[in-house]
Amino acid sequence: MNFIALLVAAIIPMIVGFVYYHKSVVGSAWMSVTGMTEEKAQQGNMPLIFGISFLFSLFLSFGLNGIVIHQAGLFSLFGGDTADELFKQVMAVKGDAFKTFQHGALHGFIAAVVIALPILGTNALFEQKGWKYIWINVGYWAVTLTLMGGLLCAWK
Query: For all residues of the chain together, what is the average pLDDT?
Result: 90
pLDDT greater than 90 at residue 93: no
Specify the pLDDT at position 154. 93
**For the residues 8-18, what does the mean pLDDT come to?**
98
pLDDT for residue 81 is more than 80: no
Average pLDDT over residues 146-154: 96
Confidence tier at 26 by pLDDT (50, 70, 90): very high
Tell me the residue ranges of DSSP E strands in the chain: none
Report pLDDT digits (tens) over 40-54.
988 999 999 999 999
DSSP state of 100: S
Residue 72 reports pLDDT greater than 60: no
Q: What is the pTM of this model?
A: 0.87
139-153 in b/e burial notation, b at 16+ Cβ within 10 A?
ebbbbbbbbbbbbbb
**CA dihedral defined by 56, 58, 60, 62, rounded to 10 degrees?**
-150
pLDDT at position 152 is 96
139, 16 Cβ separation under 8 angstroms: no
- Phi-psi map region of 79: left, alpha, beta (phi>0 left; psi -120 to 50 alpha): left
The residue ranking higher by pLDDT, 134 or 94, is 134
Interatomic CA distance for residues 136 and 130, integer angstroms: 10
Residue 101 has pLDDT above 90, yes or no: yes
